A and B are shown apart, each in its own frame.
Chain A
Amino acid sequence: MIKIQNVNKYFYKGESREVHALRDINLEIKKGEFSLFNGPSGCGKTTLLNAIGALDSVDSGEIYLGETEITGLNEDARTSLRLNEMGFVFQAYNLVPVLNVEENIGFIMKLRGFSDSEIKARVQEVASFLEIDTKLKSLPNTLSGGQQQRVAVARAVAAKPKIILADEPTANLDSKNSLKLMDMMRSLNEKEDISIVFASHDELVIDNVRRVIKLKDGALVED
């Protein structure tokens, strides 16, 4: 479903402090995969994930999501691609502070134009799956970190994207909460058939994914 061909990415290109963040990456991620980019700090996990998520450009090579070449799109097209095809989970949860749990989870569906009744039913479904259905009327800042991250996952999953990209989702959580989150995401991945790709160096994440893609100095070293 995602095809990455000869992708290279530099920071500060042409300057003395140039960083070759991605080197000739060739990779395919299939529908329904539950995978992880792993490797030491600075190896390019985040950079690769952002490139797939149409959040950042690359200097050469192509990335395809299905038939669409992400690397060739302009800002507006990338924005609507993110809205319609992708879900994001961030390290710091990044919920909308003024919206309650229910509204946060339904936010992307609302932007995409789902009807209120559809949104309500779907929010109820994912919230009970992620065990946050008792908190629907709470504001994010009244929840624990584990709960907030589950709301973020619920938001990412609610609109049924093709792929969810999660950059260090467990970094701010203790092991109990991390495990719970990984369990739930794994079940979601199976139940809803949504591809999920992580970028993480957390052992707990490594143990729970089905595919580990190792990077070193911007290059793919092990799959």
Chain B
Amino acid sequence: MFNLALKNILFYKGRSITTLILTFISALMFIVYVSMMDGSHESMLKNALKVYTGSIEIYKKDYRDIGGNEYLITDVQKIEKELDKIEGIDTYTARYETYGLLSSSTQSSASLVAGVEPLKEPSMSQLKVALVEGEFLSPTSGNCLYAGVDLVKKLEAKLGDEISFVGAASDNSFAADLFKLCGTFRTGSFSFDASSAFIARAYFDELMMSHNKASYINIKVHDLNDVDTINTQISAKIDDSIESLTWKTLMKTMVDAMEVDSIFGYITISIFYVVIFFVIMIFGFINVSSRIREFGTLRCIGLSRQKIRTLLFYEIFILSSIAIMIATPIGAYIAYYYSVHPIVIDGMSEMYKDYGIISDEIPFSFNLFTITWNISVVYLLNILSILYPMAFINSFKPVEAAHHV
């Protein structure tokens, strides 16, 4: 049967070539499209993580939902001691965040103001490398403020200007001070750059009475794949009023949005596949229709229906395999190549800044598991496409088919 199938493939060239080309294109497109979609999602997440969010963050329970001074971590040192014992953690830093009103001589803006550790922050986030003008904070930079460029623009301020701060300290008392604009940064994330400012903790803690307190502790792990195991270890060591969350939870909105985006991506590609599926099926059907007499003869001389099905199955299986065997390495190579050398579209990040895209690069994702299920789908569809022609040909009576003209 297998040899006969091979010969049929070589004999009925039109059908074979069409099926080969369509299968090749669909397998290739599927691999490349999914790789691009996954890749851009992964890079959005990675970029977002790089900017400011940690791969794991530790909070007092309800801080993220309610917030406020009642939900601060109150014994940072105790937790940090535990963290030191856990393997796989690169660094950690305790941030104290508050919202307050920043005012220049002409403009005011509500903003996030965060006390950060100037020595640890550079290895945790992009804050330092995002510097545009002036300089980043240091442990001794005192009342120096480090603010996002878009915030500075709103405030119509320039380096060296005095910026006043009004807010509530960690004990709910009134807090006000005069800062000095020492540096500006641009991470690329517009909302972040337009509403965040930083100040060295050493100085800020005095003002806010926030020694040994933190809004949360931000943790950077060595290998992102270990994030769940490390998170379990941390959870075991901290007491019940405190929770440790991974980026999957922290960036839930973003992860959810990407899932929706993926679903739409798959719907788009499914529509494309339905079309290809029917074209392949129609070609299979036309081919089988032109061979009614041949199949009738085979049935007459003693081939069972099952053998006919096997024959047709082999034909589509061989064609699909050839097409997929050519398409897979090419698709995989493209995915791999662009995962290493991302496509760069100038101005893309500017255009889509509101969507959290901060880079002009579109890296592809290269994942063998994804490629495997992509080609399995193509295989499956191709094999399904022959079911109708199979049923059609087997619905004939052998003699009638053998005399078919």
The listed residue (B294, B301, B304, B305) touching A97 by CB distance below 8 A is B294
Residues A76 and B301 in contact in the complex (CB < 8 Å), given A55-B398, A98-B11: no
**C-alpha spacing A108/B300, complex, angstroms:** 11
List residues of chain B with CB within 8 A of the CB of A155: 301
List residues of chain A with CB within 8 A of the CB of B403: 90-92
Are A55's CB and B294's CB within 8 A? no
Q: How does the 8 Å CB contact mask read for A185-205 relative to B, with 1 for contact and 0 for none? A: 000000000000000000000
List residues of chain B with CB within 8 A of the CB of A91: 403
Interface residues of A toward B: which range? 20 to 34
The listed residue (A50, A75, A84, A92) touching B302 by CB distance below 8 A is A84
Indicate if B303 sits at the interface (CB-CB under 8 A): yes
A-B pair count, CB < 8 Å, reads 61
Nearest CB in chain B to that of A85: its residue: B302
List residues of chain B with CB within 8 A of the CB of A96: 4, 294, 297-298
**C-alpha spacing A96/B298, complex, angstroms:** 8
**C-alpha spacing A142/B303, complex, angstroms:** 25
Nearest CB in chain A to that of B307: its residue: A111
**C-alpha spacing A90/B299, complex, angstroms:** 13
Which chain B residues numbered 336 to 371 have a C-beta less than 8 Å away from chain A? none
Are A108's CB and B301's CB within 8 A? yes
Indicate if A82 sits at the interface (CB-CB under 8 A): yes
B395 to A: closest C-beta gap in Å: 13
Indicate if A83 sits at the interface (CB-CB under 8 A): yes
Indicate if A80 sits at the interface (CB-CB under 8 A): yes
Indicate if B402 sits at the interface (CB-CB under 8 A): yes
B35 to A: closest C-beta gap in Å: 39
A45 to B: closest C-beta gap in Å: 13
**C-alpha spacing A108/B305, complex, angstroms:** 16
Q: How does the 8 Å CB contact mask read for A55-67 relative to B, with 1 for contact and 0 for none? A: 1100000000000
A70 to B: closest C-beta gap in Å: 14
**C-alpha spacing A80/B399, complex, angstroms:** 15
The listed residue (B296, B300, B304) touching A76 by CB distance below 8 A is B304
List residues of chain B with CB within 8 A of the CB of A99: 4, 7
Are B300's CB and A97's CB within 8 A? no
B394 to A: closest C-beta gap in Å: 10
Residues A98 and B301 in contact in the complex (CB < 8 Å), given A55-B399, A56-B397, A90-B402: no
A47 to B: closest C-beta gap in Å: 10
Indicate if B8 sits at the interface (CB-CB under 8 A): yes
* Most chain B CB within a 10 A radius of its CB, from A91, A95, A96: A96
Are B8's CB and A98's CB within 8 A? yes
Indicate if B15 sits at the interface (CB-CB under 8 A): no
Indicate if B293 sits at the interface (CB-CB under 8 A): yes
List residues of chain A with CB within 8 A of the CB of B297: 90, 94-96
Indicate if A88 sits at the interface (CB-CB under 8 A): yes
Nearest CB in chain A to that of B3: its residue: A103
List residues of chain A with CB within 8 A of the CB of B293: 92, 94
Nearest CB in chain B to that of A55: its residue: B399
Indicate if B224 sits at the interface (CB-CB under 8 A): no
Nearest CB in chain B to that of A94: its residue: B297
List residues of chain A with CB within 8 A of the CB of B11: 97-98
Indicate if B17 sits at the interface (CB-CB under 8 A): no
Indicate if A79 sits at the interface (CB-CB under 8 A): yes
Residues of B within 8 A of A (CB): 4, 7-8, 10-11, 293-294, 296-305, 397-399, 402-403
Residues of A within 8 A of B (CB): 50, 53, 55-56, 75-76, 79-80, 82-84, 86-88, 90-92, 94-99, 107-108, 111, 155
List 19 other contacts, CB 8 Å, given A96-B4, A96-B298: A50-B399, A55-B398, A76-B304, A79-B299, A82-B301, A82-B302, A84-B302, A87-B301, A88-B301, A90-B297, A94-B293, A94-B297, A95-B297, A97-B294, A98-B4, A98-B11, A99-B7, A111-B303, A155-B301
Report the 7 A-B pairs with minimum CB-CB distance, sorted nearest first.
A83-B302, A94-B297, A98-B11, A98-B7, A82-B302, A55-B399, A79-B304
